[in-house]
Amino acid sequence: MTAPTFTAPASEQTLHRTATALTARGFAAEILDDVAAARTRVTALIPEGASVFTAASETLRLSGLDDDLNTGGRYEAIRPRTLAMDRVTDADDIRRLRASPDFVIGSVHAVTETGSLVIASGSGSQLPASAGGAAHAIWVVGAQKIVPDLDAALRRVEDHCLPLESERALAAYGWPSAVNRLLVLNAEPFPGRATVLLLREAIGF
């Protein structure tokens, strides 16, 4: 498998096979048509007033979910709150707020047909909540992110996602990204905690 194939949306059969595998591993898995359906579903899943941490994600940005969750006052939005805090004097509070919200929502860099999720990060700041710190987790996943197995997932991270994220980081911060942290979720041991929304369309890296 080469990098260009990582942009092709999965077939309907593959989507259903992946959803079945995720369900068998304890994740709630739903197949939705597009980002509009995802925005509606996320609103239904997160009760008003809940604390919500949006993990850095092109999928959330492009879909409009980032704005939905961080503006408007419906939720206790963790990201804008921590961005307004002092990075030095409030570092411990920032870390705790991001690690244990009611809900963490983001995307993944790959999901395998066998039911595993793979998330890469440069700083690792968004991983504790996804790994188990948040009471609930929601991942919105474009159909192009489905790969056969973990080997392909790691190739997708290194060969496809990292170059794109490095380009974005260079433009935004002046330095490239790196895969310094890698989280692999092979199963969800707590029923009802984690939901994967698989989209029929491609979105994000």
pLDDT in tens, 154-172: 999 999 999 999 998 888 8
Distance CA 125, CA 78 (A): 13
- Is the CB of residue 195 less than 8 Å from the CB of residue 139? yes
User: Which pLDDT does position 2 carry in this prediction?
Assistant: 39
Pairing of strands 51-54, 76-77: parallel
Average pLDDT of every residue of the chain:
95
> Residue 45: is its pLDDT beyond 50?
yes
Instruction: State which amino acid sits at residue 112.
Output: T
pLDDT above 70: percentage of residues in the chain? 98
pTM assigned to the model: 0.95
pLDDT in tens, 130-141: 999 999 999 999
Confidence of residue 173 (pLDDT cuts 50, 70, 90): confident
Annotate the chain with DSSP letters as a single string. --GGGGGSPPPHHHHHHHHHHHHHTT-EEEEESSHHHHHHHHHHHS-TT-EEEE---HHHHHHTHHHHHHSSSSSEEHHHHHHTS-TTTTHHHHHHHHHS-SEEEE--SEEETTS-EEEEESS-TTHHIIIIISSEEEEEE-GGGEESSHHHHHHIIIIIIHHHHHHHHHHHHSS-----EEEEE----STTSEEEEEESS----
Confidence of residue 46 (pLDDT cuts 50, 70, 90): very high
- The fourth-level CATH superfamily of domain 7-117+127-148+192-199 is NagB/RpiA/CoA transferase-like (3.40.50.10420)
pLDDT in tens, 93-122: 999 999 999 999 999 999 999 999 999 999
